Amino acid sequence: MRHVLHAGSGTGRSLASLIIASLRHAMLVLAGLCLTAGLALGTAAAHEFKAGTLTIGHPWTRATPPSAKVGGGFMSITNNGTSPDRLVAVECEAAGVAEIHHMATENGVMKMQAVPGGLEIAPGATVKLAPGGYHVMFMELKQPFTQGSSIKGTLVFEKAGRVPVSFKVEAIASKAPDAHHDHGGKMHGGKTQ
Ligand SMILES: [Cu+2]
């Protein structure tokens, strides 16, 4: 009798074990994500800068080919405070000009432009400057960025003030020179208008 009952609830049990199995799968996926996040944080922790309630994670740039006059700067900016701050400017001795830009795809064409008024960092938010989105545009490079070196720069925030950072120069990505070349042309064209 019991056996039959058990058999009857067996369907339920196999459903339950299915659910448990998928939960386990989800847990594994989550664990994997956490591990990845942990690794990413670990990388950032090794190279980060703090100013007031702001944490600047892993500023980096790409090595540039000898003829290139522009490069992009990337990082994450986290605001642990309760009021917004704003990245209003970037200074870099290795570049004649440094601007805060945004890149977006419009009708399949990548366009970059300066961000008017700078970049707001809302309380509790992390703003990522990354290839394909917000970035620092280094222009009029005085010398090529060589992989493995660091480029000194200063981030200027409305409230946190001037924050010296160093951009680690990482490998040239295959698409970067084309995108930047295109961008450089547009910028200089735009400036003369
Ligand atoms: Cu740009």
Q: How far is the CA of 128 from the centre of ligand 1 (A)?
A: 15
Q: How far is the CA of 86 from the centre of ligand 1 (A)?
A: 18
Determine the pLDDT at residue 125.
98
Residues 57, 41: one domain?
Answer: no
Residues 176, 135: one domain?
Answer: yes
Q: How far is the CA of 99 from the centre of ligand 1 (A)?
A: 8
Residues 25, 119: one domain?
Answer: no
Residues 52, 42: one domain?
Answer: no
Q: How far is the CA of 24 from the centre of ligand 1 (A)?
A: 44
Residues 90, 177: one domain?
Answer: yes
pTM summary value: 0.67
Q: How far is the CA of 170 from the centre of ligand 1 (A)?
A: 18
Quick check: 7 pLDDT over 80?
no
Determine the pLDDT at residue 53.
95
Q: How far is the CA of 113 from the centre of ligand 1 (A)?
A: 6
Residues 41, 65: one domain?
Answer: no
Residues 19, 108: one domain?
Answer: no
Residues 137, 61: one domain?
Answer: yes
Q: How far is the CA of 137 from the centre of ligand 1 (A)?
A: 5
Retrieve residue 132's tokens. 């394909």
What is the number of domains present in the chain?
2
Percent of the chain with pLDDT over 90: 60
- pLDDT tens digits, residue range 15-42? 555 544 554 555 444 444 434 444 444 4
Residues 2, 52: one domain?
Answer: no
Residues 81, 127: one domain?
Answer: yes
- pLDDT tens digits, residue range 164-175? 999 999 998 734
Residues 89, 176: one domain?
Answer: yes
Determine the pLDDT at residue 106.
87
Q: How far is the CA of 72 from the centre of ligand 1 (A)?
A: 7
Query: Domain span at residue 76?
Result: 48-192
